[in-house]
């Protein structure tokens, strides 16, 4: 599988909403993972790296890499050491990776932010690892918070966080997310033109309907109302 394009107008909120609409499982990274610099975003196949302190792990994982992959480093969320610095980050970027997600800490923050390469991390620590695992074969899965990911997964990363979905569902998710984005864009345009969200969603009509049928939920009303008016 080669590098995969992902529409730049789609963010993690639209992807999450699309998955909910389609009934597709998605997993989120820990809420603390943030981009090193505003505007950083990336999307691509997951390249999982369970990290044990051995620097050669990064060279080993590159043998499995495909251009555009997003390297997900599983350092068990440790913040007592860093597992990524500027020199290795330059090596990874030069190898064609599309970005980096660290369930752990990094260092050399200013240098990494100046690379203009998407890096998402849980935090910072100036200390390099003082352990060296190595020896054992690399596992084919990694954890990112409560999420277990593999090369069968696709990562979408932006300022709102990280979302993982099955790569095989990408096309369906993109189509649904684009429809959601178009709908929300139209709704915002209507709001700016003076039509309130209550008007757009027929809230007054919902109140009347609920008086007759107390079991009616607003979410059901929205689905029906939106379908009728193609909102």
Where are the domains positioned within the chain? 12-173, 196-231
The pLDDT score that the predictor gives to residue 230 is 52
Tell me the torsion sign for CA atoms 206, 211, 217, 223: negative
Q: Locate tokens 């569902």: which residue?
A: 169
In the three-class reduction of DSSP (H, G, I as helix; E, B as strand; rest coil), residue 103 is classed as: strand
Beta-carbon count within 10 A of 75 CB:
24
The whole-model pTM stands at: 0.88
| Interstrand relation of 147-150 and 70-74 (parallel, antiparallel or unpaired) | unpaired
Please state, in angstroms and as integers, the Cα–Cα distance from residue 193 to each residue in 185, 198, 229, following that order: 12, 14, 18
The pLDDT score that the predictor gives to residue 229 is 55
Q: In what order do the strands lie in the sheet with 27-28?
A: 27-28, 161-166, 153-158, 42-50, 70-74, 99-106, 119-124, 34-35
Tell me the C-alpha distance between 40 and 101, whole Å. Answer: 12
User: Considering only CA atoms, which of 22, 3, 2, 70 is closest in space to residue 177?
Assistant: 22
Q: What is the pLDDT along the chain (231 residues), one digit of tens a residue?
A: 334 568 888 999 999 999 999 999 999 999 999 999 999 999 999 999 999 998 899 999 999 999 999 999 999 999 999 999 999 999 999 999 999 999 999 999 999 999 989 999 999 999 998 887 766 778 899 999 999 999 999 999 999 999 999 999 999 999 999 999 999 999 999 999 999 999 999 999 999 999 999 999 998 888 777 665 554
Residue 186, both tokens: 């139209």
The pLDDT score that the predictor gives to residue 27 is 96
Per CATH, domain 12-173 is 3.50.30.40:
yes
């Amino acid at each position: 599988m080669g590098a995969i394009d992902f529409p730049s107008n789609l963010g993690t909120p639209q992807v999450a909403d699309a998955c909910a609409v389609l009934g597709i499982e998605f997993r989120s990274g820990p809420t603390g993972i943030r981009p090193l610099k505003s505007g950083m975003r990336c999307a691509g196949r997951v390249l999982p790296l369970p990290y044990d302190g051995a620097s050669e792990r990064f060279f080993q994982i590159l043998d499995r890499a495909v251009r555009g992959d997003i390297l997900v480093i599983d350092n068990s969320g440790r913040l007592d050491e860093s597992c990524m610095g500027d020199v290795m980050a330059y090596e990874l970027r030069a190898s064609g990776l599309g970005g980096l997600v660290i369930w752990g800490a990094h260092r050399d923050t200013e240098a990494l932010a100046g690379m203009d390469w998407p890096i998402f991390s849980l935090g910072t620590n100036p200390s390099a690892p003082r352990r060296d695992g190595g020896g054992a074969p690399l596992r084919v899965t990694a954890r990112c918070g409560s999420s277990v990911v593999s090369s069968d997964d696709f990562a979408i990363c932006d300022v709102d966080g990280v979302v993982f979905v099955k790569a095989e569902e990408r096309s369906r998710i993109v189509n649904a997310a684009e429809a959601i984005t178009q709908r929300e864009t139209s709704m915002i345009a209507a709001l700016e033109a003076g039509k309130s969200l209550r008007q757009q969603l027929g809230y007054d009509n919902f109140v009347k309907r609920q008086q007759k049928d107390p079991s009616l939920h607003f979410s059901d009303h929205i689905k029906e109302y939106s379908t009728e008016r193609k909102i």
